């Protein structure tokens, strides 16, 4: 008889048995952890403005957890709300599991509720009360489907007051917001609002994003980056092997990562393709799109002269926003779209909208828009997300580059400067990596971040980001505490206005990972140094299963940068 199809996969059942390793400091629970306050902190820039906006929460001290008895956390029962915000990242369910276990360990009567569908769940008061039975099948799984996610931003006075009302009505003492830079900016705003209103409700953030751009000295990595880059590396490695076998195609692979190129760099390290474009370098060198294409063509021609009409190029999703003239165009477009939103909505066809928008742009930008392939121009005009970001995941930069490369190569052909054959294939790897089963690193890290967030809220610490560091060491040696959210902030232009936001961490061109890349890239361009990392490994030798990202390893290496 055919085996009955199980709802849960065999791998998921096995992964359900995985017990995340907690840092030693958290192992006995919150009542054995003493928060130690460090010095008052400062924001990364725009100190005076931010001090004024965050009158109650600016300059908080760093918090480090040390061993010591702390009975206060067990005395009172608390109710905590958790919300998953923004794009999915592997390990979100383990943040909830760690938070749940941390709260229950302190006091069995503590309650955790999960707001449904992201921050809108708070505004609509939609939540579920989490029990061990409900959570059981979600431990060590990918995705955010246990309580779902969303990108609603809580920003208007009405939304803040509704948040206050809903939290108060439900007697929620603390909110844990699991999100990226934008969502944690929102956490900082809510924390400040609660303080201003004299409400004892603490708000704590957890650093999430596959993009890897929410990091600094104290937040060494955002969760999900490890697993997502392992998944993309498997796929890119397979393409490298295919290319090396058939030797007839050029593959242009766009990789997710809205702004920063951390994902492209990490996948580059793991697979060693022929070309890895990095937005940050293009920005620093003030390169135009034409110059980017010239460089690509240079390598394609060189390889062709060596009889190699094949190769692999990695394109970071956010590249377009780093190219000099495109940056200017997008910034002008953002303003035109905000200032003329109603008028634009009135036009029936995309073509009419385009003509109207072109007319409002400075001449230089309007000419550039007209010179772009029509599809790309339309993609650039799409609505911004609630945080004012361009939907770069919907802009097919890899196709734009291919089109421009083709044009240049045919010009060279006419001049008898190129005799090769260019057969391009394009890919976009983005959503494929965001909900994978978390690697051991991410499963441990997210569980620790959640447990650590429980310790922060049990100590009534508000306005902090859960911080677990020393990540290149085994999990039991990880260090824990909290980093003030305002410490990471500066003022940036969003939706046509100056706003306080957490500064994104871009690839540091003076950092060790970038320098390591520069040492190797010329060799990768001409030779076939491809590496085939294969799938994420959950069982087997610990060198493979517990491997951290190469980015982290280079960042922590002892060599001078
Ligand atoms: P977060 O910053 O919220 O983690 O999301 C990052 C990301 O995955 C980007 O890499 C990508 O550009 C974007 O989300 C896609 O957004 P959406 O899920 O709304 O399509």
Strand partners, 360: none
Supply the CATH classification number for the domain 10-224+438-494. 3.40.50.450
Q: Dump pLDDT digits (tens) for 283-294.
A: 999 999 999 999
Q: What per-residue confidence (pLDDT) applies to 552?
A: 96
Q: Dump pLDDT digits (tens) for 429-438.
A: 999 999 999 9
In the chain, residues under CATH classification 3.40.50.450 are: 10-224+438-494
Q: Is residue 392 lining ligand 1, measured as CB closer than 6 Å?
A: yes
> Distance, CA 385 to ligand 1 centroid (Å)?
10
> How many Å apart are CA 38 and CA 413, to the nearest integer?
65
Q: What per-residue confidence (pLDDT) applies to 6?
A: 58
Q: Dump pLDDT digits (tens) for 104-158.
A: 999 999 999 999 999 999 999 999 999 999 999 999 999 999 999 999 999 999 9
- Give me the catalytic one of 101, 211, 213, 226: 211
Higher pLDDT, 345 or 527: 527
Q: Is residue 209 lining ligand 1, measured as CB closer than 6 Å?
A: yes
pTM: 0.94
Q: Whose CA is nearest to atom 12 of ligand 1?
A: 258
Chosen CATH of 226-278+301-317+410-434+506-561 out of 1.25.10.10, 3.30.200.20, 3.40.50.720, 3.40.50.460: 3.40.50.460
Q: Enter the tokens of residue 176.
A: 């844990």
Q: Where are the beta strands (DSSP E) in 93-201?
A: 111-115, 127-129, 149-150, 174-179
Range of lowest pLDDT (255-264, 365-374, 505-514): 365-374
Mean pLDDT of the 407-427 span: 97
For CA atoms 247, 250, 254, 259, give the dihedral sign.
positive
Atom of ligand 1 nearest to the CA of 89: 4
pLDDT at 5 > cutoff 70: no
For CA atoms 113, 117, 121, 124, give the dihedral sign.
negative
Tell me the pLDDT band of 409, cut-offs 50, 70 and 90.
Answer: very high
> How many Å apart are CA 421 and CA 310, to the nearest integer?
9
Q: What per-residue confidence (pLDDT) applies to 323?
A: 92
Q: Is residue 317 lining ligand 1, measured as CB closer than 6 Å?
A: yes
Tell me the pLDDT band of 350, cut-offs 50, 70 and 90.
Answer: confident
Tell me the pLDDT band of 305, cut-offs 50, 70 and 90.
Answer: very high
345-352: long-range contacts (C-beta < 8 A, 24 or more apart)? 350/378
Tell me the pLDDT band of 495, cut-offs 50, 70 and 90.
Answer: confident
Return phi, psi of residue 81, to 5°.
-105, 135
> Distance, CA 513 to ligand 1 centroid (Å)?
23
Q: Whose CA is nearest to atom 8 of ligand 1?
A: 87
Atom of ligand 1 nearest to the CA of 222: 4
Atom of ligand 1 nearest to the CA of 317: 12
In the chain, residues under CATH classification 3.40.50.460 are: 226-278+301-317+410-434+506-561
Mean pLDDT of the 20-26 span: 98
Instruction: For the chain, give the mean pLDDT.
Output: 94
Per the annotation, the verdict on 442 as an active-site residue is no
Mean pLDDT of the 391-401 span: 88
Atom of ligand 1 nearest to the CA of 263: 10
Q: Dump pLDDT digits (tens) for 56-67.
A: 999 999 999 999
pLDDT at 560 > cutoff 70: no
Q: What per-residue confidence (pLDDT) applies to 222?
A: 97
Q: What per-residue confidence (pLDDT) applies to 382?
A: 79
Q: Calculate the CA 13 to chain-centre distance.
A: 28
pLDDT at 2 > cutoff 60: no
pLDDT at 7 > cutoff 80: no
> How many Å apart are CA 187 and CA 164, to the nearest integer?
13
CB atoms within 10 A of CB 215: 23
Give kind and range of the element (H or E) at residue 133: helix 132-136
Q: Whose CA is nearest to atom 1 of ligand 1?
A: 87
């Amino acid at each position: 008889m055919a085996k009955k199809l199980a709802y849960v996969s065999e791998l998921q059942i096995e992964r359900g048995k995985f017990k995340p390793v907690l840092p030693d400091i958290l192992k006995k629970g919150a009542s054995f952890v003493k928060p130690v306050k460090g010095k008052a902190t400062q924001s990364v820039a725009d100190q005076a403005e931010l001090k004024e906006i965050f009158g109650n929460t600016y300059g908080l001290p760093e918090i480090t957890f040390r061993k010591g008895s702390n009975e206060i956390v067990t005395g009172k029962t608390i109710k905590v709300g958790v919300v998953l915000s923004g794009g999915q990242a592997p390990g979100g369910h383990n943040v909830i599991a760690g938070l749940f276990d941390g709260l229950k360990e302190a006091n069995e009567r503590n309650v955790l509720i999960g707001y449904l569908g992201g921050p809108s769940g708070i505004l609509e008061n939609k939540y579920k009360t989490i029990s061990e039975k409900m959570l059981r099948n979600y431990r060590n799984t990918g995705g955010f489907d246990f309580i779902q996610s969303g990108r609603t931003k809580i920003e208007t006075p009405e939304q803040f007051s509704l948040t206050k009302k809903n939290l108060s009505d439900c007697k929620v003492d603390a909110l844990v917001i699991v999100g990226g830079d934008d969502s944690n900016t929102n956490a900082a705003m809510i924390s400040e609002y609660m303080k201003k209103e004299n409400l004892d409700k603490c708000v704590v953030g957890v650093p999430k994003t596959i993009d890897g751009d929410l990091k600094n000295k104290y937040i060494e990595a955002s969760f999900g980056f490890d697993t997502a880059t392992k998944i993309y590396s498997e796929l890119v490695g397979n393409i490298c092997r295919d290319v090396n076998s058939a030797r007839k195609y050029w593959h242009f692979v766009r990789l997710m990562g809205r702004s920063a190129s951390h994902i492209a760099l990490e996948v580059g390290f793991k697979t060693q393709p022929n070309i890895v474009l990095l937005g940050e370098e293009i920005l620093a060198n003030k390169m135009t799109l034409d110059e980017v294409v010239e460089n690509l063509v240079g390598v394609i021609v060189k390889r062709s002269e060596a009889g190699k009409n094949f190769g692999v190029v990695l394109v970071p999703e956010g590249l377009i926003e780093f190219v000099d003239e495109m940056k200017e165009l997008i910034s002008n477009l953002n303003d035109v779209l905000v200032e003329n939103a109603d008028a634009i909505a009135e036009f029936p066809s995309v073509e009419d909208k385009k003509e109207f928008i072109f007319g409002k742009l400075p001449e230089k930008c309007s000419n550039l828009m007209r010179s772009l392939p029509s599809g790309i121009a339309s993609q650039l005009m799409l609505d911004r997300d609630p945080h004012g970001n361009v939907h770069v995941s919907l802009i097919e930069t890899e196709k734009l580059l291919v089109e421009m490369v083709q044009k240049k190569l045919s010009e060279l052909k006419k001049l008898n400067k190129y005799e090769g054959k260019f057969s391009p294939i394009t890919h976009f790897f983005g959503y494929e990596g965001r909900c994978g089963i978390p690697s051991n690193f991410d499963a441990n890290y997210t569980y620790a971040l959640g447990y650590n967030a429980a310790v922060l809220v049990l100590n009534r610490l508000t306005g902090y980001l859960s911080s677990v560091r020393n990540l290149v060491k085994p999990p039991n040696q990880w260090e824990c505490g909290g980093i003030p959210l305002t410490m990471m902030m500066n003022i940036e232009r969003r939706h046509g206005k100056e706003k306080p936001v957490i500064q994104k961490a871009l690839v540091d061109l003076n950092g060790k990972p970038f320098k390591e890349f520069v040492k190797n890239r010329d060799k990768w361009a001409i030779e076939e140094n491809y590496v085939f990392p294969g799938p994420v490994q959950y069982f087997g030798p610990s060198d493979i299963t517990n491997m951290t990202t190469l980015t982290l390893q280079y960042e922590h290496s002892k060599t001078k940068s």
